[in-house]
Amino acid sequence: MRIHKTRIPGAHLIEREPFTDERGSFARMFCKRELEEAGLCADIAQVNLSTNYKKGALRGLHTQKGDYAEDKIVTCFKGSIYDVCVDLRNGSPTYLEWVGETLSVENGLALYIPKGCAHGYLSLTDDTMVLYFVTQFYASGAEAGYRFDDPAFGVAWPLPGPYIMSDKDSSWAYVSQRLNEHD
């Protein structure tokens, strides 16, 4: 694995290094030791799988607060997604800024999203499968979300809407309405 910093402190792009021969390929996608050596949390509490049937499915922007704040490692195992990390940490030099990366089965990339950042993604192809490694158990009472189209972030999603979204994701408040709730 190769771990690359992004412009958001604590957010990293993880690149698999496949070994390939006539049978196919083999690559390490998670290594506790390598993550810890890079200063990242590798204490995984859950592994979650998300499937998206159609191109244009948008999930997010999500985070968990307080004792349930989590780091995430997100990778795409089928199809392609545009994955976004938004910095919501008060005092961070990149507060309210975002980074986005295309994650696909072909490029083998993963995005490490640190505590205090919101996460979301847009499916760029039909039939995507997204795997999340998270460092905290899900707690519905600690869940928070932010509008995908919030002008405070200005995320440049690569496909035009309208998007396929849950009612909950399409009704999150704008950041100006939620900042006082975020730890």
Q: Show which residues are catalytic.
A: 62, 132
DSSP-based three-state secondary structure for 19: strand
DSSP string, 162-174: --B--HHHHTPPP
Q: Whats the size of the chain, residue-wise?
A: 183
Q: With contact defined as beta carbons under 8 Å apart, do 100 and 82 qualify?
A: yes
List the structure tokens of 21. Answer: 């021969």
How big, in percent rounded to 5, are the helix, strand and coil portions of the chain?
Answer: 15, 40, 45
